[in-house]
Amino acid sequence: MNGPMEQFEIHRLIPIEIGGWDISFTNSSLFMCLVLATMSLLLIFSVRKGALIPSRAQSVAEEMYLFVTNMLYSTAGPESLKFFPFVFTLFAFVLCANLFGMVPYSFTVTSHIVVTVALALTVFSLVIIVGLWKHGLRFFSLFVPDAPPIMMVILVPIEIISFLSRPLSLSVRLFANMLAGHIMLKVFGGFVVGLAAAGGILSILSIAPLAAIVAVSALELLVAFLQAYIFAILTCIYLGDALNLHDTHH
């Protein structure tokens, strides 16, 4: 049995080095491409006919569209709908990547902190660009809460630290949840194999960790959706802050 951490190892599939930089095509790169291709093909083929009475695939695509639209509108206002393509792509990518990781012998790209940090920094950069583009230097009033002046010495640094910690919390939440769930599945799988190989009464006891695997797998499917939802809705909230400043802040 492999160790529980070996499933997260990066392997070079096509070694590439340019100017001393290792930009090899890895198993992580492969599965990111597979995630993008799968989600793109599913969405394209599900809506290509545009039937008045939708098929099941078209219904799923339409529900995803409405889900993200309502999420954006309710958290950041009507002006935020211009960012629908970005939020929808982010939600679809994270959801599909999480679900891909549930397939045996696949690779969970969202279980790597470098991937989740890259996604979080993209969101963080967009929020700052949107805020400065719309409000100019007034964007920095986001760090000045409506409070007595004497409290500003304490509250302003707290607001700045809270804002700067957003990429960290956004990335670590997704990474930690996916990492922990897959480690649990691997550990329980090791118990099943070990007890079954021992024979006798111990092989009967392997039913317990097997049942735990089923339960954890069901929980992981729920977590896969919840983490994609949390990532997307926090993105909407941050965009709402940038667009509306104190109207949605706090």
Residue range of the domain that includes 240: 6-247
pLDDT digits (tens, 9 = 90+) for 26-69: 999 999 999 999 999 988 888 777 666 777 878 888 899 999 99
**Poorest-pLDDT segment among 114-128, 189-203, 214-228:** 189-203
Q: What is the pLDDT of residue 246?
A: 60
pLDDT digits (tens, 9 = 90+) for 144-172: 877 777 888 888 889 899 899 999 999 99
- Whether residue 196 is contained in a domain is answered as yes
* 65 contact partners, CB below 8 Å, separation of at least 6: 88
Q: How many CB atoms lie within 10 A of CB 102?
A: 16
Q: What is the pLDDT of residue 142?
A: 84
Q: What is the pLDDT of residue 200?
A: 67
Q: How many domains does the chain have?
A: 1
Does residue 192 contact residue 210 with C-beta atoms inside 8 Å? yes
Does residue 248 contact residue 76 with C-beta atoms inside 8 Å? yes
DSSP code of residue 80: G
- Whether residue 50 is contained in a domain is answered as yes
Over the chain, what is the mean pLDDT? 86
More confident residue, 190 or 133: 133
Q: What is the pLDDT of residue 250?
A: 41
Give CA–CA dist 47/50, Å, rounded: 5
Q: How confident is the model at residue 227 (pLDDT cuts 50, 70, 90)?
A: very high
Give CA–CA dist 100/108, Å, rounded: 7
The H or E element containing residue 17 is strand 17-18
- Whether residue 1 is contained in a domain is answered as no
- Whether residue 144 is contained in a domain is answered as yes
pTM for the complete prediction? 0.87
Tokens in use for 132? Answer: 């400065």
Q: What is the pLDDT of residue 148?
A: 77
Does the structure show a pLDDT above 90 at 98?
yes
- Whether residue 46 is contained in a domain is answered as yes
Does the structure show a pLDDT above 50 at 74?
yes
